[in-house]
C-alpha cells in the first residue's frame, strides 16, 4: 500500500497538486476582495458560501478523481501494479490519495477564508452565527464531495484519455443537476420521487441555503443522511466495477484495436 501511495503522489502529481493549492489560494483571495468591493459578499456571506469557491473546489477534486481512475496513463500504471498488488489495494490507494488531496484543498480554502475575513471584514467577530455558517458550509462541501466523487468513480471508467475524463467528470456536475431538475417536475405529484439519488446532489446547496428544501422537499437531516447512503452505494458499485469489470486497456492495445477495426472495414470494402 505504501508503495502504491508513493506512486500516486509522484513528483509530477505533487507539482500539479501544488499548482492547484496555489490556484485555490489566489482564487479565494480574489473572491473575497471582489465580493467586498462589489458589496456582493459580507462576513456572513463569505462564511455561508465557503468564500464563493465551492465550484472551484469541486472542479479541482473532480480533476484529481478522473485522472486517477481513467485514461491510458492511469490504465498503464494499474496494469503494472496488478502484477504485485490486488485490484482492491490499488483502488483504495487511489481513493486515499483523492480524499487526502481534497481535505488539504478544503483546509487551504477554510484557512484562507478565515484570513480574508479578519483582513477585509475586521468589524465582524468570528463568533456565533458567522462561525456557525462556516461550519455548515464546510459540512456541505464534504457531503457533496463524497456523493459526487463516488458517482464520478463509478461512471468514469470508459474514458480513454485523461482530458476526455476531465471533460466528462466536470460535465457530470451539470448532468446530475439537470437530471435532478427533470425529477422535480414529477415530485409534486409523486412524492416518493424525492428519494431519487439525484435529488441528494443538492445537499451542499441546501446546507448553505435552508430554503432549498422547497426545491428538494427534503429536511436537512434527510438530505444529509441520504447523501451519505447514496455515496456509500456509489462507492461500492465503483469498487465492484473496478475490481471485476474494468479491463484497463493501454495505449498500445487501443491502437491495435483501432487498426484491427480499420483492417476489417478495408476487407469489407474490398469484398464489395
Q: What is the pLDDT of residues 109-146, one digit of tens each?
A: 999 988 888 888 777 666 667 778 888 888 888 999 99
pLDDT of residue 46: 76
Q: 76 is written with which cell numbers?
A: 498503464
Q: Is the pLDDT of residue 18 over 90?
A: yes
pTM attached to this predicted model: 0.85
- Of the candidates 26, 29, 25, the one whose C-alpha atom is nearest the C-alpha of residue 37 is 29
Residue that has been written with the C-alpha cell 475490481 in this structure: 243
pLDDT at residue 178 tops 60 = yes
pLDDT value, residue 256: 56
**Cβ-based neighbour number of residue 172 at 10 Å:** 19
In whole angstroms, give the CA distance from residue 204 to residue 224: 9
Quick check: 121 and 36 in contact, CB under 8 A?
yes
Average pLDDT on 89-106 reads: 93
How many angstroms separate the CA atoms of 70 and 59, rounded? Answer: 16
| Dist. CA 221–CA 16, nearest whole Å | 37
Q: What share of the chain is helix, strand, coil (3-state, %, to 5)?
A: 85, 0, 15
How far apart, in whole angstroms, are the C-alpha atoms of residue 251 and residue 7? 20
Residue 40 is predicted with a pLDDT of: 75
Can you tell me the distance from the alpha carbon of 144 to that of 125, in angstroms, rounded to the nearest whole number?
28
Q: Taking phi first (over 0 means left), then psi (-120 to 50 degrees means alpha), and beta for anything else, what does residue 128 get?
A: left
CA pair distance 211, 20, nearest whole angstrom: 32
Q: Are 207 and 142 in contact (CB under 8 A)?
A: no
Predicted local distance difference test score (pLDDT) of residue 192? 80
> How many C-beta atoms lie closer than 10 Å to residue 111's C-beta?
12
Amino acid at each position: 500500500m505504501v508503495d502504491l501511495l508513493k506512486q500516486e503522489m509522484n513528483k509530477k502529481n505533487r507539482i500539479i497538486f501544488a499548482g492547484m493549492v496555489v490556484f485555490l489560494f489566489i482564487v479565494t483571495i480574489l473572491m473575497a476582495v471582489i465580493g467586498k468591493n462589489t458589496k456582493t459578499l459580507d462576513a456572513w456571506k463569505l462564511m455561508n458560501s465557503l468564500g464563493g469557491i465551492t465550484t472551484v473546489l469541486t472542479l479541482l477534486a473532480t480533476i484529481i478523481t478522473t485522472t486517477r481512475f481513467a485514461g491510458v496513463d492511469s490504465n498503464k500504471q494499474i496494469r503494472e501494479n496488478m502484477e504485485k498488488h490486488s485490484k482492491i489495494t490499488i483502488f483504495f490507494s487511489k481513493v486515499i490519495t483523492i480524499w487526502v488531496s481534497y481535505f488539504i484543498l478544503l483546509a487551504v480554502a477554510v484557512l484562507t477564508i478565515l484570513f480574508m475575513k479578519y483582513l477585509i471584514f475586521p468589524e465582524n467577530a468570528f463568533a456565533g452565527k458567522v462561525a456557525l455558517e462556516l461550519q455548515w458550509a464546510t459540512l456541505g462541501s464534504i457531503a457533496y464531495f463524497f456523493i459526487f466523487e463516488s458517482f464520478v468513480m463509478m461512471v468514469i471508467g470508459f474514458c480513454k484519455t485523461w482530458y476526455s475524463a476531465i471533460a466528462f467528470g466536470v460535465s457530470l456536475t451539470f448532468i446530475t443537476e439537470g437530471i435532478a431538475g427533470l425529477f422535480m417536475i414529477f415530485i409534486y405529484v409523486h412524492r416518493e420521487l424525492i428519494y431519487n439519488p439525484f435529488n441528494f446532489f443538492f445537499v451542499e446547496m441546501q446546507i448553505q441555503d435552508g430554503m432549498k428544501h422547497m426545491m428538494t422537499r427534503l429536511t436537512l437531516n434527510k438530505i444529509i443522511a441520504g447523501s451519505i447512503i447514496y455515496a456509500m452505494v456509489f462507492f461500492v458499485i465503483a469498487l465492484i466495477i473496478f475490481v471485476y469489470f474494468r479491463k484497463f486497456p493501454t495505449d498500445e492495445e487501443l491502437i491495435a484495436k483501432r487498426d484491427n477495426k480499420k483492417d476489417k472495414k478495408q476487407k469489407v470494402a474490398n469484398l464489395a
